[in-house]
């Protein structure tokens, strides 16, 4: 069954069987009033409390924020300077997501896009601030809007479709998983290690299962071992994980999946975990972010 046929069936029948367990409450109406939503960007640098020699003592300085705004009519990218607010004009209950990714400075003053973005989802985010824990959910909404555009849905059809999904429940599940694994004896939960392609396909064609939000094949790797092997003090791309690494000394890594680790200052390493006795490391210069300010 194609994505487009599935959405058309939803629009004509008035129900969305594929995501029954995740049906939302606030649906989009074409004639709704406009409103202005003000969103604060996260503080930079993030809070840190690290005294371990195998981890960086601080985050790199920020140059600007890369903002990705996903709405029913378009997906746009623009930039904001630190300590600014973003104002979005939107129809009430028309869902949109904002991702705020920090563009940081390498030691050679070139820009680098290393860390996963913070996120904000309208109309369910409880506070008007983009937070790191909601970055992945905001990215999922962007993917859904891209699918709508690729399949020729109108702006109102796209808004109705995306508004049926229970974004508040998605955020709460991710937060619960983060809270339950923020302990020294548990493997830390990183939503960015989920299989996004399968999640989007499932949302489009099948019944959504919360188990898809639990990444498979994940293991822990010692940050101390990385430091002893490479001399690198690394930071996770997922900001909330860095506070946990300071307590546990462990980084969550996905099997057979090359993952980039760096202090975002000069160099990085791609680590591929094949088994506990077979870990491949490849050294690189950190990629320079070359997109213009315009």
pLDDT at residue 52 tops 80: no
pLDDT tens digits, one per residue of 105-126 = 999 999 999 999 999 999 999 8
Cis ω before 45 (30° cut-off from 0): yes
Token output for 18: 């594929």
Mean pLDDT of the residues in the chain: 86
pLDDT at residue 289 tops 90: yes
The reported pLDDT for the residue numbered 121 is: 97
Q: What is the mean pLDDT of residues 182-205?
A: 85
Q: What is the mean pLDDT of residues 50-66?
A: 82
pLDDT tens digits, one per residue of 112-171 = 999 999 999 999 998 899 999 999 999 999 999 999 999 999 999 999 999 989 999 999
Q: What percent of the chain is modeled with pLDDT above 70?
A: 83
Q: What is the mean pLDDT of residues 55-78?
A: 93
The reported pLDDT for the residue numbered 292 is: 60
Confirm if 97 and 70 have CB atoms less than 8 A apart. Answer: yes
């Amino acid at each position: 069954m194609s994505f487009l046929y599935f959405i058309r069936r939803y629009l004509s029948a008035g129900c969305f069987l594929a995501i029954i367990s995740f049906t939302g409450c606030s649906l989009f109406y074409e004639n709704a009033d406009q409103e202005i939503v003000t969103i604060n960007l996260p503080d930079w640098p993030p809070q840190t409390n690290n005294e371990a020699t195998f981890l960086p003592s601080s985050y790199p300085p920020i140059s600007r924020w890369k903002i990705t705004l996903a709405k029913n009519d378009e997906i746009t990218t623009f930039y904001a300077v630190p300590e600014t607010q973003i104002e979005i004009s939107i129809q009430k209950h028309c869902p949109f997501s904002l991702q705020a990714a920090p563009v940081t400075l390498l030691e050679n003053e070139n820009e680098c896009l290393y860390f996963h973005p913070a996120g904000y989802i309208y109309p369910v985010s409880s506070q008007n601030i983009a937070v790191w824990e909601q970055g992945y959910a905001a990215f999922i909404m962007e993917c859904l809007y891209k699918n709508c555009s690729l399949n020729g849905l109108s702006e109102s059809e796209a808004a109705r479709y995306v508004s049926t999904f229970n974004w508040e429940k998605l955020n709460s599940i991710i937060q619960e998983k983060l809270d339950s694994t923020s302990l020294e004896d548990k493997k830390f939960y990183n939503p960015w290690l989920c299989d996004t392609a399968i999640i989007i396909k499932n949302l489009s064609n099948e019944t959504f299962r919360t188990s898809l939000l639990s990444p498979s094949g994940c293991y822990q790797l010692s940050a101390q071992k990385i430091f002893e092997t490479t001399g690198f003090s690394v930071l996770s791309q997922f900001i909330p994980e860095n506070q946990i690494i300071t307590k546990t000394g462990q980084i969550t890594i996905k099997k057979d999946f090359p993952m980039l680790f760096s202090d975002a200052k000069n160099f990085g390493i791609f680590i591929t975990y094949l088994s506990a006795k077979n870990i491949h490391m490849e050294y690189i210069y950190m990629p320079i972010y070359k997109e213009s300010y315009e």
